[in-house]
Structure 1
Amino acid sequence: MSTQKLVNQVIIRNEQFIETAEQLKPELYESIVKPSSIVDIKADPEVIHGWRSEVVAPASSLADNEYQKNDSFVLDFGDHQVGYLTINIRPAGSPPDAPLKLKLTIGEMPVEMAEPFENYNGWLSSSWLQEETIFVDVLPAVISLPRRYSFRYVKFDVIDTSPKYRVVFDRVECKAVTSANLNAVEKISHQDPELQRMDEISIKTLADCMQDVFEDGPKRDRRLWLGDLRLQALANYETFRNNELVKRCLYLFAGVPDDKGKVPANVFVAPKLIADDTYLFDYSLFFAASLYDYYFATSDLETLKELWPTAYHQVDLALERLDKNNILKDSSDWWSFIDWEQGLNKQAPSQGVLIYTMKQAIRLAEELNVPERDSLKGRLDEIIEATKTHLWDKEQQFFISGSDRQVSWASQIWMVLAGVLTKEENSKLMKRLLEENPSVGIATPYMYHHLIEALIVSGEKERGIEEMKTYWGGMIQDGADTFWELYDPKNKDFSPYGSHLINSYCHAWSCTPTYLIRKFSL
C-alpha cells in the first residue's frame, strides 16, 4: 500500500492490485482504413444539427487534384474510426519556396465540418474539439500525426502555400486501433433487419471504446468511468468476451480508493493510474454490481475473493447515507449521477440503485459464505420496507423523490429494477409510467438502457423492443454509425455541456442494444 495526496483527497494505493491490472493490459489490434469518398457538407434543416454530407467524388481521385491557398475538401472514411492519421503530401508546380500551412478539422459528424470550432461556447474545454494546424517545411513529406482521433470526417484547409506551388495529397489513411477482436463475436441473423442493424452498430460502438481500458468515449473523455464500465461489460459478455479487460478495469478501480475506502467515479490511466476527484453514490455502488456481473460471467472465484472487500465496503459506505427512516438523505450537490435529465431529483432512483446492488452483494456473499451475508439481508429487508412506506405514493401510484415529491421516469425505472414491488405490480407501474409520461423524463441512452431492461424484467418485452426502435432506431435514421452519448428525439440539439459540437458520437453507455437483443432474445 502507498499513499497519494491530491487536492482535498488522500488516495490509498494498492500496489498489488495496480500491478495485477498492469499485467492485464491488452494488446491492440491494428488495421489500415482508407477514406471512401470526397464529400461536400450541405446545409439541410431536415437532418440532425442541420448539416449532411454529399458524395462528390471517390477518394481514389484525391491524388488527381492540386490544392493551393484557401482551397479545402472533406474526406469521408465511410464509418466511424478510432486511430492515427498519416498523410502523404507532394508539391506540384515550382519548387516550394515557403512552408505549407495546413489546418485539419477532425470530427464524428457533418456538423463538426460545418460549424467553426472558434464559435464553440460550451462549458467543457474546447481542447476536446479535434483540430490541428500543421506547418510542413520540406515537401514531399509523410505526416504521421501523433494524437489518436475519433472520427469519420476530416476537413483539409490549405491555409497557405505560396503563389509558386500547389500541393497534392497522394495518400491519406488511418491506423485504426481497438482491443476488441471482431472475429470473436458470434454473428447473428435477426429476422428483424432493424434489430440486426442495431446489434451491428452497438458492436462497433463497443469496439471503438475498447482500448487499453473500456473508455467512456474515444473522442471525450477517453477514460474509465464506473457507470459506463458496468454497461460495456454486460455488452462484452454477449459479444467479444474480452473478460480480462473487465478484470483489468475492476482492479484499476480497486487500486485507488480514498482514505475512507470509496472508489472514484472514474480513473485516468496515463501517465500512471490516477483517481479522479469525482465520487458518485450510484457509481461507487456499481463496483459491486460490476463484480457481480463479472463473477457470474466467468466463475472467477479468485478475483471475487480479492475484490469482495472493496465491493462490500462500497455498500457499507452507502448505508451511512440513510437517515433514521432508512431513506437516503437528499442534497442539492452532484452526489449521485442517475441521468443528465435537468431537474431530476436523485433520492428515489438512488434508493433503487442501493437496493439493486445490495441484492447482488448478498448473492456474492452467499457464493463466498461470508458473515456479511446475514447482516446485509437484515438491512435490505428494513430498507425495502422503508422504501414502500416513505417513497410510494398510494394516491398517485408512483414512487416519489425529494422534498417536492417529484415523480420521474428514473425513480420508477430503478424501483422496478430493484424489485421493490412484485412482477405484476412492476408491470402495472411501467404501463402507468408510459401512459402518464411524467415531465421529468430521460436524457441519455444510459437511462434508456435501464428503461428497456425495466420493461423486459416486468414482462413488457414487446414494449421494450418498441422503445428501442424509437430511440436507438431514431439515432440510426439520423445517421448514426456508432451510437451517441446523448439523443433526445424531441430536441436533437440537446447537450448538457452547452454545445452539440462537444457531444460524443461514439459513447460506451449507448452500446447496450446488443446486450439486450442477445441476452433477452429480443
Structure 2
Amino acid sequence: MKNNMLKACPLLITLFVFCQDLLAQSRPTWIWYPGDFEIWLSNNMQNRRTERNTFYPVFWKYDSHYPLIDFHKDFDLTTAEAVKIYTEGAYNVKIDGRAIEGVPQQITVPAGHHRINIKVFNQANVPAVYVEGKTIVSDSSWLVTFEDKEWIDETGKASDVSATKWLNAGSWNFHHSQTLPSACKLPVRPQYAVSTNKSNSGTLVDFGKETFGFIRLHGVQGTGNVTLYYGESKEEALHAKSAETYDVFSSRQSSKTDSLLPSSKAFRYVNIVTSGDVKVDSISMLYEYAGLKERGQFRCSDEEVNRIYDISKYTFELNTREFFIDGIKRDRWVWSGDAYQSYLMNYYLYFDNATVSRTILALRGKDPVTSHINTIMDYTFYWFLSIYDYYLYTGDQSFIKQFYPRMQTMMEYCLGRRNKEGLMQGLSGDWVFIDWADGLSKKGAVSFEQLLLCRSLETMGLCADLVGDKSDAAKYNQYAATLKKQLFELYWNQQQQALVHSRVDGQQTANVTRYANMFAIFYDYFNAAQKNAVKQSVLLNDSIQKITTPYMRFYELEALCAMGEQDYVLKEMKDYWGGMLKLGATSFWEVYNPAETGVQHYAMYGRAFGRSLCHAWGASPLYLLGKYYLGVKPTSAGYNTYTVQPALGGLQWMEGKVPTPNGDIVLYCSTKEMKITTAAGTGLLRFRSKIKPVCKTGTLVNKGEDWYEMAMRAATSYVVNYQAPKPETHAKTR
C-alpha cells in the first residue's frame, strides 16, 4: 500500500524521505572527527596483508587520527533532560563552559538554551562520543575540532575562539551505545567445501568458487603443525613453495578440538599439510562480507551476458569490504584508480554512499601532502574525479563543503609539480602508472596525465562554486581552459588523427596509444569529426597496442558505448569476459590475455601465482550494462534530472533496475516495446525507432534521423511501442 501511494504522488516521495531523515536525526549514533575513523580503519585493514606468511605494509605515507577532539552542540529545551554519555577515551564534560566534576556517565541539562561540550582523548583508537537523551542525541549535526584555540588569561577570562575551525561530526552505522567503533567487524556466515581429495602430499579442499574468510579446523588432535596453502587456483594451492599465502597452526591437542584461524584469506582451494601425529577431520570457513543490499539488476536474452553480469556482481561483492579494495588475495589495499571504478559500479549496483565517501576519505589522508595518492600521479587525479561523480550521482553537497580544503591542498601539490611548459611530468618519487602494458613508455609529459589533470581542474572549479569560493572557481576554470587548449596544440597529430602518447624534450613522440584518446571521447573533449577519426584510427585499429587489463578495457568499451557502438561492445564483452568464464573463472581477474595458456594466466610480477583472480576492476560490466545498455545516467546532481537512453546492442530484450537517491528506475526493453517506471526527479527518454512510436501517457517528440524524446514525470509508469533499428556492423581497421 505504501509503495502504491508513493508511486501515485511524487510529493509523498519527498515527504517520505524527509520523515526518514527526521527519524535518523533523532536516533543517537557514535560520532567522531570527520575522516579520522576512516583513516584509522583503513590503516588497520590494509595492514592485514601478508605474503608467504610475512607482514607486508603499504608503500605510502600513513596518517593517523587526532587523539584529542572537542565535540559540542547547542540545544533549546522546554524542560530539563537527563542525558547518558558514552565515549571511547578519557573525557570531560562542560555545560555552558562550566566543567562537571568527575567522569559523569549521566548529566541533567536544565531547561533553556545550553551548549554541551565533550572533550575526548584516545591515542590508540579514534576519540568518539555517543550521547543519548530524549531530544539530545549525538549525530552529524554536532560540531567538532581537533584544536579549540582557547586560552585563559591572568584574570581567568577565556579567550575568543572564533578562529577555531569546526566541522560536522563524522558517523557511520554504530547506532547502539555498546556497538563501539573500535570493535568494527564485518559480518560472517558459514560456508562449506564442495569436495575433499586426500593424497600423500596433503588434503586438497575445494570450496567450489573464489571466496574470502576465516578457515575453521574441525576435530584437530595430536601434536604437530597444520599448514594450509591457499590457492585461487588448484595449481597454486598445491605449489607449497610458490603459493602467495599460507597459514601455520600449531597443535598440542590430546582430544579433538575445533579452532578458528585468526586471519582472513582469499582462496578457492586449500591444501592441508600436517606434520607430527596431528590430524584434522575436516575444514569449513566463515565467509566475511560487507552485507550491502543489491539494488541494481540486469537480465537479458543472452544467457552468457547474464552469467557475465552475475560473476561481475560476485567479484564486486568480494572486493567490497570496509572499503572498496583492489583484490582479495594479494594487496587487499585501497588503491585510488581501482576504487574510482568501484564507485561507478557501486552507483549501478548498491548505491551505497557510505562506502564511497569512506574510501575517498581514507585515500586522501591529511595534510601536509608529501606525495601523490598511492604515490601514483594518475591515481591522484582519479581521486578528484571521484568527488565530481559522487556529487553528480548522490547530490551530497555537504561532503564537498566539508572536505573542499583537502581538495585545495592536494591540487596545489599537483600544480607545483608541473614542468616549464605547465605540464605534468613524472618527478622523483612519482609513479606514472596508466596501465599494466608491456613496453608502455612513461617518459616525458604523457598526454593521458594532462587530460586527467584538466578534468580534475574542472572538478575543482565545480566544487569551488559549490562552496561559494568564486575566486578559486575562476582560477581553476582558467587553468583547465589553458591546459585543454595546450592538450590539442601540443598532442594532436593531424596525420595520425589522434592524440600522441607523450612529449619528450619538448617534442611530440610518434607513438599513439588508446588511453588519452578514449578518455577524451567520453569527457567530450573532441569535436564530432575528431571523435569519428579517433574511433577509426585508434579504438577500432588493431595496429594500436591492445589493452589486456579489465581496468582499461572498462574505459575503452565506455568510449565506444559513448559513440553508440553497443553492438560492437557486446561482442567484445562476450569475447573478453566470456573468455575468462570459458577458462573456469568464478570471479574476474586482474589481467586476462587471451593469447596466454595454462598456468601463464596465473603469473604476474615475476611470480608464478602473483596475478589476482578476483579483482574489483574486473567487474566493470556492472557499470557498462547499467549506464550504456539500460542507458540510465544523471544529468544533474542527485538524479534531479536524468536520461534514459536504452541500447539493446543486438539483444532481443533486457530488463533491470538502476538505483537513485530516491527510488529505483525500472526498465524493460525489447525490439518492439519499452516499459519504464521512474523514480524521483525529471527524466528524459531518448531512443531510435524505425516507425512512429506510440505512448499513451507521454508526449513523444521527433528529433529527426529516427530519434525521439519524451519527458518523464517522477514516480510514473510508461509503455512505449516502437521498432528498434537493426544492429549495425563495423569492420575493424587493420
- Do both share a fold (TM > 0.5)? yes
Q: Distance in 1 between matches of 2:608 and 2:550?
A: 16
Q: 2:380 aligns with which of 261, 284, 305?
A: 284
Give the letter for the 1:172 counterpart: I
Q: 2:454 aligns with which of 336, 355, 363?
A: 355
Aligned counterparts, 1:121-270, within 5 A: 129-138=244-253, 139-161=255-277, 167=279, 169=281, 171-181=282-292, 183-257=293-367, 259-260=368-369, 264-265=373-374
| Match in the other structure for 1:61 | none
Q: How many residues align?
A: 457
Select the structure of larger CA radius of gyration: 2
Give the letter for the 2:612 counterpart: S
Q: 2:488 aligns with which of 388, 393, 397?
A: 388
Check 1:435–1:223 CA distance in 2 against 1; reply closer, same or farther (3 A cut).
closer
Check 1:168–1:336 CA distance in 2 against 1; reply closer, same or farther (3 A cut).
closer
Q: Distance in 1 between matches of 2:376 and 2:364?
A: 15
Give the letter for the 2:352 counterpart: N
Q: 2:618 aligns with which of 489, 494, 510?
A: 510
Q: 2:219 aligns with which of 75, 80, 89?
A: 89
User: What is the SS of the residue equivalent to 2:211?
Assistant: strand
Give the letter for the 1:513 counterpart: P
Q: Distance in 2 between matches of 1:87 and 1:194?
A: 37
Q: Percent identity?
A: 24
* Contact map agreement 2:211 2:287 (CA 8 A) in 1: yes
The superposition leaves residues 410-463 of structure 1 with CA deviations (integer Å, 9 ceiling, x where unpaired) of 232233344331244223312322443345432421111111111122332222
Check 1:467–1:364 CA distance in 2 against 1; reply closer, same or farther (3 A cut).
farther
Q: Which has the higher contact order (CA 8 A, sep 6+)?
A: 1
* Contact map agreement 1:427 1:455 (CA 8 A) in 2: no
| Match in the other structure for 2:399 | 303
For normalisation by structure 1, the TM-score amounts to: 0.79
* Displacement after TM superposition at 1:146 (Å): 0.9
* Displacement after TM superposition at 1:178 (Å): 1.2
Q: Distance in 2 between matches of 1:8 and 1:453?
A: 31
Q: Distance in 1 between matches of 2:319 and 2:295?
A: 16
RMSD: 3.2
Larger CA deviation: 288-297 vs 356-365:
356-365
* Contact map agreement 1:345 1:402 (CA 8 A) in 2: no
| Match in the other structure for 2:100 | none
Check 1:448–1:334 CA distance in 2 against 1; reply closer, same or farther (3 A cut).
farther
Q: 1:113 aligns with which of 230, 237, 260?
A: 237
* Contact map agreement 1:234 1:515 (CA 8 A) in 2: yes
Q: Distance in 1 between matches of 2:618 and 2:408?
A: 28
Q: Distance in 1 between matches of 2:251 and 2:59?
A: 45
User: What is the SS of the residue equivalent to 2:218?
Assistant: strand
Larger CA deviation: 345-354 vs 333-342:
333-342
* Displacement after TM superposition at 1:283 (Å): 0.9
| Match in the other structure for 2:503 | 402
* Contact map agreement 2:325 2:332 (CA 8 A) in 1: yes
* Displacement after TM superposition at 1:185 (Å): 3.2
Give the letter for the 2:460 counterpart: A
Q: Distance in 1 between matches of 2:412 and 2:523?
A: 18
Q: Distance in 2 between matches of 1:448 and 1:363?
A: 28
Q: Distance in 2 between matches of 1:471 and 1:8?
A: 32
Q: Distance in 1 between matches of 2:328 and 2:433?
A: 21
| Match in the other structure for 2:554 | 449
Give the letter for the 2:377 counterpart: F
| Match in the other structure for 2:590 | 485
Aligned counterparts, 1:35-74, within 5 A: 35-38=193-196, 70=200, 72-74=202-204
For normalisation by structure 2, the TM-score amounts to: 0.57
Give the letter for the 1:455 counterpart: L
User: What is the SS of the residue equivalent to 2:366?
Assistant: coil
* Contact map agreement 2:219 2:280 (CA 8 A) in 1: yes
User: What is the SS of the residue equivalent to 1:208?
Assistant: helix
* Contact map agreement 1:474 1:489 (CA 8 A) in 2: yes
Give the letter for the 2:536 counterpart: K
The superposition leaves residues 460-484 of structure 1 with CA deviations (integer Å, 9 ceiling, x where unpaired) of 2222222222222211111111111
| Match in the other structure for 2:692 | none
Q: Distance in 2 between matches of 1:330 and 1:188?
A: 41
The superposition leaves residues 358-389 of structure 1 with CA deviations (integer Å, 9 ceiling, x where unpaired) of 33333333434432222222222211111111
Give the letter for the 1:337 counterpart: F
Give the letter for the 2:285 counterpart: C
Give the letter for the 1:36 counterpart: V
User: What is the SS of the residue equivalent to 1:150?
Assistant: strand
Q: Distance in 1 between matches of 2:410 and 2:511?
A: 27
Larger CA deviation: 426-435 vs 230-239:
426-435
**What 5-or-longer segments of structure 2 have no aligned partner?**
1-32, 37-56, 71-125, 128-168, 174-180, 631-734
Q: Distance in 2 between matches of 1:410 and 1:325?
A: 21
User: What is the SS of the residue equivalent to 1:352?
Assistant: helix
Q: 2:188 aligns with which of 18, 30, 33?
A: 30
Q: Distance in 1 between matches of 2:503 and 2:414?
A: 18
| Match in the other structure for 1:58 | none
**What 5-or-longer segments of structure 1 have no aligned partner?**
40-66, 92-97, 121-125, 266-278
User: What is the SS of the residue equivalent to 1:294?
Assistant: helix
Check 1:208–1:73 CA distance in 2 against 1; reply closer, same or farther (3 A cut).
same
* Displacement after TM superposition at 1:285 (Å): 1.5
The superposition leaves residues 276-313 of structure 1 with CA deviations (integer Å, 9 ceiling, x where unpaired) of xxx22111122211111222222222111012222244
* Displacement after TM superposition at 1:500 (Å): 4.1
Larger helix percent: 1
Larger strand percent: 2
Give the letter for the 1:136 counterpart: S
The superposition leaves residues 4-28 of structure 1 with CA deviations (integer Å, 9 ceiling, x where unpaired) of xx99998776737987667567752
